[in-house]
Structure 1
């Protein structure tokens, strides 16, 4: 392992060992409390532009395989782990995590105190940082960081969205047979790809929807034409990376879809974009919600669900003026789910598909199917 240096925007300089790609990367650092599913996290497009610190100390033990990819690539800037295992042991393993990181030019950082980093982020909030196997002087790293754009200045969905439309063919993964279920669909929807996860598509299909994934560049007029021609029954707005405020074209596009009363379901970034399109701007949390153990209360049934989460931004409490709150985060009472009063539109901030995480919220996909 080679030496790698980390410089944070608060002036902190740390030294560690590298096990992934080599080079210099700048991004926002966050922490994730999930106990399992590191491959799904690394390949989640929502982490584009970010370094992920794992609070789980042992990472790499089961290696990586093609079935657990949430997208075609690894999108984060790098991962930070306490202890990395280069010799995995699992019958599904096809390659070690280091090989996946090197293939997709993602830094791997280990032999570092991740508890200390997590405490810094909890106290001071998510922040920008630079990591490098090439530069180790503090002033040189500081110069690189200060001359680089911040995550909220970059439109990452242009990088992670599909370039061509395609029909998703798989449904839910069967852990007993190690295969995907055969889709049985009765409704057709379009999924706007802002950085969509594979298992979201699997759950949509499992709930009875044939899903055509389209690039984020598709126009509102093209979608409305498909609705008018009865080619589709609704629209799904996916998860994705970055600050939703800067996505001006998406705001206007979604406004047009809302005005036509098209059934819409949004998850994570999609949830935030729906809020902004209705005139309620999002705000940034101090260190965000990233992990698979977040309690969320369903305000309709009173049930508490343990959920998977991955976001730094949230919708404002004032949105209650135009929508019914269906889910609330019990850690900080932030809004986790909405049904809008004036249109067939629903959204959730957490990830009901999990992967990784608990599946207690998977029923939400069925609710969207019923709305159609």
Structure 2
């Protein structure tokens, strides 16, 4: 697809490029991803809903598109910005060209952009609203980019809502519950049953649990605690997802009911932020967020540094250092400690409750796409459920 395209930021900065993918207009929050690979997983991650993603790697599309790597049933990014798209896919797993997939799903993109310059701008000024305009969405005279054209496009961009305050789980969650059965040697013999609340879940996450013998019941974000109790789970999991955790009042109330019940809890990404808010901590918007598959995180207890996959624009405001009493309801959930810290900027990357069976991490341990350092957290969740079951059995037999 040829022709002029414009990437317009809300502060009036404009980056010209070439139309790529579908043509037209798309709006969203502009963010950048530092992943050198895994663009297909990025495109299909529901956490990127309503976001225009800038890829910092200069060459995108060389492995095409296959049918094994998508993390959901569709592309979720609002728009896609690349430096140099591959002219032709070259990979034995490829089934389609990336550009054709973008066209088929109506994803407006732009290529030929200095993505390093865009990334530096976002790092300096923060993530902001943006739009990509091409084809019929461009006003007359757009090729000359006069002040009148620029002002008209900026007005369109700033008229869209900000990400702060956005409640988006309803737009990405499954409409109905479904079950992922245990796989491999555990097929037909589950070791545990987990309810996974879908806030924008990636497909590999329940598969990681299923590979460890867990029967996973994925439920909509609207599920009630009674719905969860009816499944009689050994644990509850809250997934990743888009939006502002401060707006997720139903999900926070649901999580507090889970914590009150004593059912073991594990949350990742958005589920980590909701855990923080359920405990009484605040959350805040990061200047430009963490996105990519090369983010260093330190495990505070062991000192081990893990390379992890991230996709988040908000963070938990919890005290780093000694364990402290969680502030909600005068310490209702006891002591909590920050278990992981981001080494790039000191952001809280994990929480561990010491008096109830619950923990969370900000990153994506399912490794889709990304390093495998965090996969052991699924083993930790299984161990937590087993220990809780043993403790409960011992108490019942006294």
Q: TM-score, normalised by structure 2?
A: 0.87
1:4-83 map, 5 Å: 4-83=5-84
Kindly provide the CA deviation profile for residues 38-87 of structure 1, in whole angstroms up to 9, marking residues without a partner as x.
Answer: 00000000000101111100000010011010000100101111000141
Partner of 1:317: 318
Equivalent residues of 1:7, 1:130 under 8 A apart: yes
Q: Which moved more, 1:302-311 or 1:141-150?
A: 141-150
Partner of 2:388: none
Give the match's secondary structure for 1:98.
helix
Q: How many angstroms does 1:249 deviate by?
A: 1.3
Q: How many angstroms does 1:91 deviate by?
A: 1.1
The one of 193, 217, 220 equivalent to 1:215 is 220
Cα distance change of structure 1 residues 6 and 278 upon mapping to structure 2, 3 Å threshold: same
Give the match's secondary structure for 1:190.
strand
Equivalent residues of 2:237, 2:267 under 8 A apart: yes
Partner of 1:188: 193
2:93 and 2:28 mapped to 1: Cα distance?
32
Partner of 1:161: 173
Equivalent residues of 1:224, 1:257 under 8 A apart: no
Equivalent residues of 1:171, 1:203 under 8 A apart: no
Q: How many angstroms does 1:356 deviate by?
A: 1.3
1:84 and 1:301 mapped to 2: Cα distance?
42
Cα distance change of structure 1 residues 184 and 46 upon mapping to structure 2, 3 Å threshold: farther
2:204 and 2:187 mapped to 1: Cα distance?
14
The number of residues matched between the two structures is: 361
1:169 and 1:4 mapped to 2: Cα distance?
46
Q: How many angstroms does 1:218 deviate by?
A: 0.8
1:97 and 1:276 mapped to 2: Cα distance?
39
1:105 and 1:190 mapped to 2: Cα distance?
33
Give the match's secondary structure for 1:31.
strand
Equivalent residues of 1:163, 1:215 under 8 A apart: yes
Q: How many angstroms does 1:341 deviate by?
A: 2.5
1:294 and 1:184 mapped to 2: Cα distance?
36
Structure 1: runs of 5+ lacking an equivalent? 173-179
Q: How many angstroms does 1:245 deviate by?
A: 0.8
1:186 and 1:285 mapped to 2: Cα distance?
39
1:129-144 map, 5 Å: 129-133=130-134, 134-135=137-138, 136=142, 137-144=149-156
2:29 and 2:86 mapped to 1: Cα distance?
25
Partner of 2:107: 106
Equivalent residues of 2:206, 2:216 under 8 A apart: yes
1:223-372 map, 5 Å: 223-226=228-231, 231-318=232-319, 320-321=323-324, 322=326, 323-372=336-385
Give the match's secondary structure for 1:119.
helix
Cα distance change of structure 1 residues 170 and 131 upon mapping to structure 2, 3 Å threshold: farther
CA RMSD of aligned residues (A): 1.8
Kindly provide the CA deviation profile for residues 280-336 of structure 1, in whole angstroms up to 9, marking residues without a partner as x.
Answer: 121111111111111111122221111111111111133852312221111112211
Kindly provide the CA deviation profile for residues 141-197 of structure 1, in whole angstroms up to 9, marking residues without a partner as x.
Answer: 12211222222343221111100111124759xxxxxxx996863101110000001
Structure 2: runs of 5+ lacking an equivalent? 143-148, 327-335, 386-398
1:196 and 1:87 mapped to 2: Cα distance?
31
1:30 and 1:146 mapped to 2: Cα distance?
16
Cα distance change of structure 1 residues 11 and 335 upon mapping to structure 2, 3 Å threshold: same
Give the match's secondary structure for 1:318.
coil
Q: How many angstroms does 1:250 deviate by?
A: 1.1
Kindly provide the CA deviation profile for residues 209-264 of structure 1, in whole angstroms up to 9, marking residues without a partner as x.
Answer: 111111111112221343xxxx3211100000111111111111111111111111
Equivalent residues of 1:326, 1:339 under 8 A apart: yes
1:181 and 1:114 mapped to 2: Cα distance?
46
Higher Cα Rg: structure 1 or 2?
Answer: 2
2:183 and 2:102 mapped to 1: Cα distance?
27
Partner of 2:211: 206
Equivalent residues of 1:183, 1:206 under 8 A apart: no
Q: TM-score, normalised by structure 1?
A: 0.93
